[in-house]
Amino acid sequence: MQTQKVIDHIVNWLKDYAVKANVKGYVVGVSGGIDSAVVSTLCAMTGLEVLLLEMPIRQKEDQMNRALDHIADLKKKFPNVQGKTINLTPVFETFEGVVHDHVEGRWSNNLALANTRSRFRMLTLYYFGQLHGLLVCGTGNKVEDFGIGFYTKYGDGGVDVSPIADLYKTEIYTLAKSLDIIESIQKAIPTDGLWDAERTDEDQIGASYPELEKIQKEYGTKTADDYEGRDKEVFLIFERMNKAAQHKMNPIPVCDIPEEWRE
């Protein structure tokens, strides 16, 4: 990959989009993970206003520390960057106490609460975005957004622009190295940070990003019969998640009313 060309292209794309939209810059949620670190750095490189929000909800200390260290690092490098911590734990716990139909240990209901965390963060990003004239910048990568749908609908999927959604995770690590992202983030194991218990992305998905990338690049040209062993296992995981996530990836269906009924 021609890393510097990709970096320059994304930075120019972000800058041009913001100028045409007549906004001051971008607001980015920073989690302590590689995707948000790369996106926030690319936004900072535009020279436009950038607000970085760390929004913990019963977050693990190491995740919070990485996010805060990254914000501090970017503020040192870029005068156009500001950072803020918005503790959403009280908001989430109030909501958790209001709804009574979740059962601890029941996966589907716990997933609903996990997705609620992501949606609270989306609301917060849009609040500060509107307050300061900033667009919400997404941090999803190609596998998450267009492969297996590993994001929350109207949560981290609710954004104004998606600058790295055409990049695979391994490519984002290449950008991170070139952008000199802090070492703790480059070495961190990917996690969505939506659970009280530590659950890495690989734990939840059942496959690593490099394994998923291999399948996604071939998806549509091969079937399960073309694979064997571990590759076949990953293909079946990818196919199942891809099919289940179509409601996220496709436009909202609209019920068309026949024109003759309007007369």
Q: Tell me the pLDDT band of 220, cut-offs 50, 70 and 90.
A: very high
Beta-sheet strands, E only, within 71-146: 81-85, 134-136
Averaged pLDDT for residues 243-263: 93
Residue 128 has pLDDT above 80, yes or no: yes
Q: Tell me the pLDDT band of 107, cut-offs 50, 70 and 90.
A: low
Among 152, 145, 147, 146, smallest CA distance to 234 is for 147
Q: Which residue has the higher pLDDT, 142 or 99?
A: 142
Q: Tell me the pLDDT band of 248, cut-offs 50, 70 and 90.
A: very high
Q: Tell me the pLDDT band of 109, cut-offs 50, 70 and 90.
A: low
The pLDDT value given to residue 149: 94
Burial of 64 (0-12, 13-18, 19+ CB in 10 A): middle
Among 205, 178, 175, smallest CA distance to 189 is for 205
- What is the rounded average pLDDT for all residues in the chain? 93
The pLDDT value given to residue 263: 79
Backbone angles phi, psi at 161, to 5 degrees: -140, 155
pLDDT tens profile 3-60: 999 999 999 999 999 999 999 999 999 999 999 999 999 999 999 999 999 999 998 8
pLDDT tens profile 141-170: 999 999 999 999 999 999 999 999 999 999
Residue 199 has pLDDT above 60, yes or no: yes
The pLDDT value given to residue 51: 98
Residue 203 has pLDDT above 70, yes or no: yes
Look up residue 224 and give its DSSP letter: G
Distance CA 29, CA 250 (A): 24
The pLDDT value given to residue 104: 59
Q: Tell me the domains of the chain and their CATH numbers.
A: 3-191 (3.40.50.620)
Averaged pLDDT for residues 229-235: 97
Burial of 22 (0-12, 13-18, 19+ CB in 10 A): exposed
The pLDDT value given to residue 55: 97
Q: Tell me the pLDDT band of 108, cut-offs 50, 70 and 90.
A: low
Beta-sheet strands, E only, within 101-255: 134-136
- What percent of the chain is modeled with pLDDT above 90? 84
The pLDDT value given to residue 1: 87
Greatest pairwise CA separation for the chain in angstroms: 65
